[in-house]
Amino acid sequence: MKKILIINAIIWAIVIVAISFWAKESEYYKYILGVLVVGFTLQNGFTYEILKKEKRSKT
């Protein structure tokens, strides 16, 4: 479970850094970065909950 969450966090970090360099001159930079951070938070939370439910059902 932890392995999937760590891989997920690394992928999101790479995406956020890449988009930050690409869109830093954009007037919508703050919004783009905010959406990415909120997206990561939601996706990480959902992944954690799903994996936690799977772990409970196996035991």
Statement: residue 59 has pLDDT above 70:
no
In whole angstroms, give the CA distance from residue 59 to residue 52.
11
Biggest CA–CA distance in the chain, Å, is 51
Rg value, the chain, Cα = 15
Q: How confident is the model at residue 34 (pLDDT cuts 50, 70, 90)?
A: very high
DSSP conformational letter for 59: -
* pLDDT, position 58: 77
HEC profile of 16-39: HHHHHHHHCCCCCHHHHHHHHHHH
